[in-house]
Amino acid sequence: MRVLFMGTPELARTVLISLCEAGHEIVAAVTQPDKEKGRGKTLQASPVKEEAVRRGIPVLQPRRLKNPEEQAALQAFLEENPADVGVVAAFGQILPQAVLDMPRNGCLNVHASLLPKYRGASPIQQTILEGEAESGVTIMQMDAGLDTGDILLQEAIPLSPEETGDSLEEKLADLGGRLIAEALALLEEGRLSPQPQSGDTCYAGMIRKEQGQIDWAAPAEMIERKIRAFAPWPSAYTFRNGKRLQIWKAALAEGREGAAPGFVTAVTKKDFTVQAGDGALRILRVQPEGKKEMEADAYLRGYPLQEGDRLG
């Protein structure tokens, strides 16, 4: 089929590759504008743009598709290069109905959760934050609502007890690529059966960098899930002597009666333990401000800690 693809991050790149390998013709890859990165503020293309350029696929980078002028430009492109269907995967903009209606069969969304749970921008992180036992991918017929369209295909996978945002995204990207290829094959055959969403809904809003700061008064289980959910971005972090300290890996530990949250309650050669509001966390991997990620034993050699020191 002739596909208008819309996506931006690494997950979307994986889906784009799957569509290409399934033999679909990508009329264009629509992705977010290049962003400044690093101290030099050099412009960096999205993973989808990088992949599209590598494959010789035309790239469109509208700043805001709710803008009538941007819509008109896309419509003019599609009149010259008609698409049978649109496929959207983590594009990063809410699409108005006018855009959804441009491809002949509308737009299908590759959503990284088991809808109707975790509609919104951060379903992967929210699934881990909530301690879910499973996640999955939903292929949805898009409408003007926020992830409210009919379900076309859906498949669940179990979550590992050590699942991180990074590892789950990789799994769901692979699953999403396979499911969207299956959905397009069924669409060609006229065998898709849309089903309205039903059941409890919840919203996974956009994550802000400051949400990564650890509140040591929270239960240890919640903090440990945050550390995993927010890897690699925005990362879970605390402060020591006014310097940011990112926490990349931790394990649940017994709390110490009477210890205040954020205080170091034990230090060994390999790790250190921090009291939480309920329980404690044994810190296994960290990243001091301005330094590389390292195991806790290496951190302790360069930045000694002792019982009674406080983080936060």
**Domain ranges in the chain?**
2-204, 209-302
The span from the CA of 309 to the CA of 237, in Å, is: 16
Given a cut of 90, whether residue 33 has pLDDT beyond it is: yes
Note the pLDDT tens digit of each residue in 78-110. 999 999 999 999 999 999 999 999 999 999 999
- Which pTM does this prediction carry? 0.94
How many Å separate Cα 198 from the centre of its chain? 24
Q: Are strands 203-204 and 119-120 parallel, antiparallel or unpaired?
A: parallel
Note the pLDDT tens digit of each residue in 215-235. 999 999 999 999 999 999 999
Note the pLDDT tens digit of each residue in 289-305. 999 999 999 999 999 99
Considering the domain delimited by 2-204, tell me its CATH architecture.
3-Layer(aba) Sandwich (3.40)
In this structure, are residues 309 and 264 in contact, taking their beta carbons and an 8 Å threshold?
yes
CATH of domain 209-302: 3.10.25.10
What would the mean pLDDT of 67-87 be, rounded to a whole number? 97
Tokens of 250: 């931790």
3-state SS of 78-104 is HHHCCCCEEEEECCCCCCCHHHHCCCC
Residue percentage of the chain with pLDDT more than 90:
97
Write phi, then psi, for 175 (nearest 5 degrees): -65, -40
How many Å separate Cα 157 from the centre of its chain? 16
Residue percentage of the chain with pLDDT more than 70:
100
- Mean pLDDT, the chain, as a whole number? 97
The span from the CA of 26 to the CA of 57, in Å, is: 7
